[in-house]
Amino acid sequence: MTTEEKFMRLAIRQARVAEKEDEVPVGCVIVKDGKVIARAHNRRQNTQIATYHAEILAIERACKKIGFWRLEDCELYVTLEPCPMCAGAAINARIKRIVFGAYDRKAGCCGSVYNLPTDERFNHRPQVEGGVLCEECANILSTYFKNKRKTP
Amino acid sequence: MTTEEKFMRLAIRQARVAEKEDEVPVGCVIVKDGKVIARAHNRRQNTQIATYHAEILAIERACKKIGFWRLEDCELYVTLEPCPMCAGAAINARIKRIVFGAYDRKAGCCGSVYNLPTDERFNHRPQVEGGVLCEECANILSTYFKNKRKTP
């Protein structure tokens, strides 16, 4: 198991927590110096707050943990390719590297619809690695939506 | 005074609150049915949380206020053109219209660097109006940064 897979497994565990809470199952962990400093899952449905994606909540927690808004030595692991809001949050937080699982062809902004982190016009450019444990991350989402459609 | 100017004045008032707290002076209000339902100012410096831009905080408060993550009939007024994170948040929250004051040529994502809200690939497209009380909104920011440079 690679380091990327090890931390993606922890993000997947967060996605499973979301799943149990009947949230769209996306999970995220933030890693600094080889240690997880923040973990979060999507909470939009249960809080009814539009911005409570896993990445936003994890970045918020990581900032609180280290007491600094710049997460310069931090890596963000997330099971789904970040949307514009979350890719933008990673840029704003000076995240060093974004590692994501499944691709989001409809709203992903780390390569699919846009590739915001690589845009040289912004003042920070996180590295991006996509497709880590891709199939497993995608399956969690597709199973969730399949079951949703079955529920009357 | 137009309706846009009236609400932008309230956003400017929020920017002035940020200024007093020695934050980058950006303010935001969210309007529904002609009434302000949420107001917020940038709080990144004092909280040390990277995501605490005025728009994110205002959207969060508006969602809490109405108890629903979809701000479909809401207009977001902000003194500075939204960054990728905040433009993305407005799309995610199904904001009806974004009205901003000053243009942000370096990071603005409502026309300057990108125009995310008009992208037909996303599942929601807020209308955008830029440049309302543009000069006043820009002056608050330029005065803030000029004073910052003077401080030893």
List the single residue in B with minimal CA-CA distance to A113: B121
Task: Name the E strands within chain A.
Answer: 27-32, 35-41, 74-80, 97-102, 127-129
CA–chain centroid gap for A130, Å, is: 11
pLDDT (tens digit, 9 = 90+) per residue, A93-135? Answer: 999 999 999 999 999 999 999 999 999 999 999 999 999 999 9
pLDDT at residue A150, as a whole number: 85
Tokens in use for B145?
Answer: 């940064």
pLDDT at residue B65, as a whole number: 98
Radius of gyration of chain B from its Cα atoms, rounded to whole angstroms: 14
Q: Return the residue in A51, A56, A95, A115 with the most chain B beta carbons within 10 A, the one to mutate for interface testing.
A: A51
Say yes or no for a CB contact (<8 Å) between B50 and A107. no
Percentage of residues in chain B having pLDDT higher than 90: 97
Q: In which residue are the tokens 């807020």 written? A: B126
Chain A residues touching residue B114 (CB < 8 angstroms): 114, 116
Q: Longest Cα pair distance anywhere in chain A, in angstroms?
A: 48
Taking the CA of residue A72 and the nearest CA in chain B, the distance in Å comes to 11
Q: What CA–CA distance (Å, rounded) separates A59 from A70?
A: 10
pLDDT at residue A79, as a whole number: 99
Say yes or no for a CB contact (<8 Å) between B89 and A50. yes
Question: How many CB pairs lie under 8 A apart between chains A and B?
Answer: 119
Angle at which helices B54-66 and B3-20 cross, to 10°: 110
pLDDT at residue A10, as a whole number: 98
Is the predicted ipTM greater than 0.95, yes or no?
yes
CB-hemisphere CA count at 13 Å for B86? 31
Secondary structure (3-state) at B42: coil
pLDDT score of B64 more than 90:
yes
Say yes or no for a CB contact (<8 Å) between B83 and A88. yes
pLDDT (tens digit, 9 = 90+) per residue, B108-138? Answer: 999 999 999 999 999 999 999 999 999 999 9
Q: Longest Cα pair distance anywhere in chain B, in angstroms?
A: 48
Whether the CB-CB separation of B4 and B29 falls below 8 Å is answered with no
CB-nearest partner of A63 from B49, B64, B69: B49
**How far are the Cα atoms of B32, B90, B93, B105 from residue B126, in angstroms, in the given order?**
14, 7, 10, 20
pLDDT score of B150 more than 90:
no
Secondary structure (3-state) at A63: helix
pLDDT at residue A152, as a whole number: 65
Q: What CA–CA distance (Å, rounded) separates B105 from B122?
A: 23
Tokens in use for A152?
Answer: 């009357």
